[in-house]
């Protein structure tokens, strides 16, 4: 039975963390997910700025006001955001844990000052500088996480919500080095929709877009957690299967091919259609370069098309890299 797919600046103390974050992998999220997450962070940080102004007036300037001594790490807007329902766009960031540590340090320094000043104890420049340094460290890390998240939009295909070709090149180079270093195998596969032009001609380009989004959803739903899927261009996709040899790769790709074939895709107005795809695959590290491996998978795809489409076809020649 068929199933249906429905429609900054930071101090030197955090410099190494910022570098690690910038070099880390970009996880693909749907553009609307990224924008919603960034919006929630911007609102929290704007509220944090106003909160900090009130903190200075109440504590440093000794004005009457809210008690800012206890639980700053959770009661301030930044703390409420951090300890709340944080989108995975941020919680998965390599610096997210460090952000909480910076928040705790900022809270500790703030509490120390809040206890000293109202009681008449003189506030040393060292105490205040230490507090403001933690504020700058925290803000710098927030800016880096926000920047990385904005950058994630560059690596996402807006139609399908999966990784795009810009993301692919860096990932495949990294996977190639990892496979060589660890002595493991990796398979890459080119996927092309069969008779896609006819879909556009018969049903319209909006239906064609729904088919591409539907196929991406099918593939993502069936792939293993560590597999990677990219929109290569047009109606073509590329899959990277880490820790996978050619024999296992064929089994994985055959399962994906069958799932595409048996799944009806909603194209709007109460209509759904079935589509097929042809797969060509090759080993990633059996060639001199990543580009050579992609070419081999693409040639295997072309041969699969000539053999009748809707099939999984292996590269016939393995390189020397």
Which residues belong to the active site?
235
CA distance 235 to 222: 19
Reference 239, options 257, 262, 214, 261; nearest CA is 257
The two three-digit tokens of residue 215, written as one number:
């196929």
- Number of Cβ within 10 Å of residue 229's Cβ equals 22
Reference 38, options 158, 152, 195, 185; nearest CA is 152
CA distance 188 to 242: 8
First vs last Cα of the chain: how many Å apart? 45
Reference 11, options 97, 129, 128; nearest CA is 129
DSSP for residue 270: T
Residues 315/225, Cβ–Cβ less than 8 Å: no
């Amino acid at each position: 039975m068929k199933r249906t797919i429905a429609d900054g600046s930071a101090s030197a103390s955090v410099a190494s963390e910022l570098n690690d974050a910038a070099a880390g992998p970009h996880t693909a999220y749907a553009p609307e997910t990224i924008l919603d997450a960034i919006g929630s962070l911007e609102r929290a940080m704007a509220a944090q700025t106003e909160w900090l102004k009130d903190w200075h007036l109440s504590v440093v300037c000794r004005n009457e006001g809210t008690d800012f001594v206890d639980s700053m790490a959770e009661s301030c807007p930044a703390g409420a955001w951090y300890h709340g329902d944080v989108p995975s766009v941020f919680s998965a960031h390599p610096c997210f844990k460090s952000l909480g540590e910076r928040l705790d340090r900022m809270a500790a320094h703030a509490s120390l000052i809040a206890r000293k000043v109202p009681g008449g104890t003189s506030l040393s420049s060292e105490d205040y500088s230490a507090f403001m340094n933690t504020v700058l460290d925290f803000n710098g890390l927030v800016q880096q996480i926000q920047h990385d998240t904005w950058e994630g939009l560059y690596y996402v295909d807006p139609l399908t919500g999966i990784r795009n070709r810009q993301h692919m090149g860096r990932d495949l180079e990294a996977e190639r080095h990892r496979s060589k270093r660890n002595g493991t195998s990796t398979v890459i596969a080119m996927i092309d929709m069969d008779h896609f032009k006819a879909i556009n001609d018969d049903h319209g380009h909006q239906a064609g877009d729904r088919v591409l989004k539907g196929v991406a959803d099918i593939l993502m739903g069936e792939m293993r957690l560590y597999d990677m899927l990219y929109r290569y261009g047009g109606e073509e996709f590329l899959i990277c299967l880490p820790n996978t040899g050619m024999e296992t790769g064929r089994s994985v790709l055959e399962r994906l091919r069958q799932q595409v074939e048996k799944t009806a895709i909603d194209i709007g107005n109460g209509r759904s259609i079935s589509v097929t795809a042809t797969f060509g695959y090759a080993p990633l590290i059996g060639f001199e370069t990543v580009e050579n491996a992609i070419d081999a998978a693409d040639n295997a795809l072309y041969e699969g098309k000539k053999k009748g489409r809707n099939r999984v076809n292996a590269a016939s020649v393995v390189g020397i890299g």
